[in-house]
Structure 1
Amino acid sequence: MFTERSGIIVWVNDLKAAGKHLEKYGNVHFISKKLHYAAMYVYASRLDETVKQLQRLPFVKKVERSYRSEIKTEYNSNIPDKTRFYTL
């Protein structure tokens, strides 16, 4: 039902051009006016070819891939819970 998406950060020179042209490559989530970057999501199956296409655009400085999907987000603690010793 849901397709896998990957996040990328696109560093740009021209924000107006970024706002107009980046929509056709994926979902633009956020554009920072102060730091001149756009956060967007693209299909994970077409990530490499989308990054190559984005790097060819004249207003793009650099494209960075997000590693959020590779970070472990489930944590387990082997240390016993000590909160019961500190109750009033």
Structure 2
Amino acid sequence: MFTDRSGLIVWISDSKAASKHLDRYGSVHFISKRLHYAAMYVHTSKLDETMKQLQKLPFVKKVERSYRNEIKTEYSSNMPDKTRFYTL
């Protein structure tokens, strides 16, 4: 049901053109007018192809891949719990 998506950060020079044209390539999550970037999600299977297409657009300065889905989010605590030493 859910497709694998990867995040992209697209550095732009024109936010108005970005808001019109970036929807064709994936799901636009956020466009910052002040910092001139757009955060968007694309299908993982078409990631490299989409990055090349986005780089060819005239208002795009740089395209960066987000590594958020590759970061480990399950943590293990090997340290003993010290809260009992700090009770009153």
Question: TM-score normalised by the shorter chain: which range applies?
Answer: over 0.9
Indicate the percent of aligned positions where both proteins have the same amino acid: 80
Q: Aligned Cα RMSD in Å?
A: 0.7
| Cα displacement (A) at 1:85 | 2.2
Letter in 2 for 1:56: K
TM-score (norm 1): 0.96
Secondary structure of the residue aligned to 2:18 is: helix
Query: Within 1, Cα distance between the matches of 2:56 and 2:13?
Result: 13
Secondary structure of the residue aligned to 2:41 is: strand
Q: Deviations over 1:20-62 (max 9, x none)?
A: 0000100100000101000000001100000000001011000
**Residue of structure 1 in register with 2:65 after alignment:** 65
**Residue of structure 1 in register with 2:42 after alignment:** 42
The aligned length equals 88
Letter in 2 for 1:25: Y
Alignment gaps of 5+ in structure 2: none
Q: Within 5 A, what are the aligned runs for 1:1-88?
A: 1-88=1-88
Alignment gaps of 5+ in structure 1: none
Letter in 2 for 1:45: S
| Cα displacement (A) at 1:86 | 1.9
